[in-house]
Every structure is written in C-alpha cells, then in structure tokens.
A = this chain, B = another copy of it.
C-alpha cells in the first residue's frame, strides 16, 4: 500500500449528523469525490493550525457559499482560526449566505464542545509543537430495547413503552408491578471515537480516550526515526500502539505517515507488535464503528 497524497481530513457520521475533523488542502475536492454527504456537514473540528490540517477550510467555506448553502455551520478550532478565515472573506468581499460560527478550543483540559440529541463532543489537550487538541466523540446512551413478545403477551398499554425504554419499572392498568429488566433488553452499547493528531507520545491523554471503540492516533514515524519523532513532537507507530493498549481501545487506526515511508506495512507491523487490532488509515477509507 502506498502513502496517499492528501493531507488530513476525516468525515464522521453519527446517525444523521456529519462531522468533519481537520480539513487539509484539497479536502473539498476529496469530499466531492468520496461522498455525497459533504453538504450535510454542520460541524467542523480543527485540531491545530499546521497547514496540513486546515488549509482546505477556507476553500470549503467559500464553495459552500457559491453553492448557496444556507444551513448554519459551526467551526471548533484554535482562537486564531476565526481571524484567518475572516480576513480572507473580507479581502474577497465575500458575504456568506449561511450563518458561520466559530468556537475557540483551548489545549489545557478536557472541554465539552457540543451536546446534541445523539452525541457529545469533547476536545482534550495533545502535546505538539503548537497548541493542539484531540477530539472525543461519544454517542449518547441508547434507550433500552423493548421485549415486544412479552409486552404483547402481557397486554401492556403502549403508553408505558417510553417509561420502559427509559429503564423505569411500571405497573399495568390493573396495578400489577413489572420490573424493567423483565420487559426490556440491554440497550445497544453507545460508541466512542477518539481522534489524536498530531501529538508526541503522551500518556496523559489516556483518561480521555479510555475504552474507545476506535482510536485514530497519528503514527508519523517508525522506531528508526524515534529521535526525529521527539524533535518534531510526533509519535511513532509503537507510541500509538502503546497508547491504544494502555487506553484499552478496541481498535487503533494509525495515519499521518511521513512521506519517507513508501511502504506502510513495516509501520503497521511495528504497531501490531504492541497492539494487535491496529489498522492503516488511507485516503478514501470508510469504516463502521
């Protein structure tokens, strides 16, 4: 497998909502190529202001405008991002057709950025050359699933269903009590995804990302370039795998490979030596969590 040409951007879909994480140059072009959902992105998260993570943002914003977007768009990122975007809109005399909001991230502690019906999003500090945050996407707890067969047999009024789904015990219309666990099943487990790019090896992030279903963690270098990783505040494949293991992640996707590695297999093997459930991310990859 060859290292792809495009900088960082990930499109995360949770139920009906689409979240864009980072937006390197050419992201709009890649989005148009890979998905028809790119117009549904209402939230964009920028980890830090190195160009390979945000140079494509201004282009995406102005393309939305050309295409007559009217839906509100909210961008989470370092405080200077708003100024950078605003000056570029100003000099081109661009007045956006859609409401654009900036919410500043900061890299000192865990912060809740967003809380919707289905998901909570948090930023947390990474350790890179400039202020950088990771992002944690936590699906909200699902409701308990009704044991329909039993409920029908017992002739429970459907007005009680919501109480059961919320985990409450009920009485039927004759006053007979029922324990919730007798009429419902465990809910589908809520999923968690964490995005960590760019960062040096940093165990202090572990509490934030514990037990995630999928961890994306940068793995810019292999062990042969450990010194270079330290100098540039990036991680090695072993670093990423160690974090995944200590955080008890279910799966690890690595990425952000240095262009020095044409063949990524050795990089993958280094990570797998520590954490077996490691996978390579690459351009156009779609995964289900």
Please report A residues at the B interface, Cβ cutoff 8 Å. Answer: 5, 25-26, 28-29, 49-51, 55-56, 58-59, 62, 78, 80, 83-84, 87-88, 91-93, 129-130
Q: When the two chains form their complex, are residues A49 and B91 in contact, meaning their CB atoms are under 8 A apart?
A: yes
A85 to chain B, nearest CB (A): 10
- Whether A28 contacts B29 in the complex (CB less than 8 A), given A51-B92, A87-B83, comes out as no
**In the docked arrangement, what's the CA distance between A56 and B25, Å?**
8
A285 to chain B, nearest CB (A): 19
Set of chain B residues within 8 Å of A93, measured between Cβ atoms: 129-130
Q: Which 10 pairs show the lowest CB-CB distances between chains A and B?
A: A49-B91, A25-B59, A80-B91, A51-B62, A55-B59, A26-B26, A50-B92, A93-B130, A49-B92, A84-B87
Chain B residue at minimal CB-CB distance from A129: B93
Assembly stoichiometry (copies): 2
Set of chain B residues within 8 Å of A88, measured between Cβ atoms: 49, 51, 55, 84
- Whether A92 contacts B130 in the complex (CB less than 8 A), given A25-B25, A25-B28, A84-B87, comes out as yes
Set of chain B residues within 8 Å of A25, measured between Cβ atoms: 25-26, 28-29, 55-56, 59
Set of chain B residues within 8 Å of A29, measured between Cβ atoms: 5, 25-26
**In the docked arrangement, what's the CA distance between A40 and B69, Å?**
40
Set of chain B residues within 8 Å of A5, measured between Cβ atoms: 29
Q: When the two chains form their complex, are residues B55 and A58 in contact, meaning their CB atoms are under 8 A apart?
A: yes
Q: When the two chains form their complex, are residues B91 and A84 in contact, meaning their CB atoms are under 8 A apart?
A: yes
**In the docked arrangement, what's the CA distance between A163 and B77, Å?**
65
What 5 new A-B contacts, CB under 8 Å, besides A5-B29, A25-B29, A49-B91? A25-B28, A51-B88, A55-B62, A84-B91, A91-B130
Set of chain B residues within 8 Å of A87, measured between Cβ atoms: 80, 83-84, 87
**In the docked arrangement, what's the CA distance between A84 and B90, Å?**
11
A284 to chain B, nearest CB (A): 15
A269 to chain B, nearest CB (A): 27
Set of chain B residues within 8 Å of A84, measured between Cβ atoms: 84, 87-88, 91
A157 to chain B, nearest CB (A): 57
Chain B residue at minimal CB-CB distance from A51: B62
27 A/B residue pairs, CB under 8 Å, sorted by A: A5-B29, A25-B25, A25-B26, A25-B28, A25-B29, A25-B55, A25-B56, A25-B59, A26-B26, A49-B91, A49-B92, A50-B92, A51-B59, A51-B62, A55-B59, A55-B62, A55-B88, A78-B91, A80-B87, A83-B87, A84-B84, A84-B88, A84-B91, A87-B87, A91-B130, A92-B130, A93-B130
Set of chain B residues within 8 Å of A62, measured between Cβ atoms: 51, 55
A268 to chain B, nearest CB (A): 24
**In the docked arrangement, what's the CA distance between A83 and B91, Å?**
11
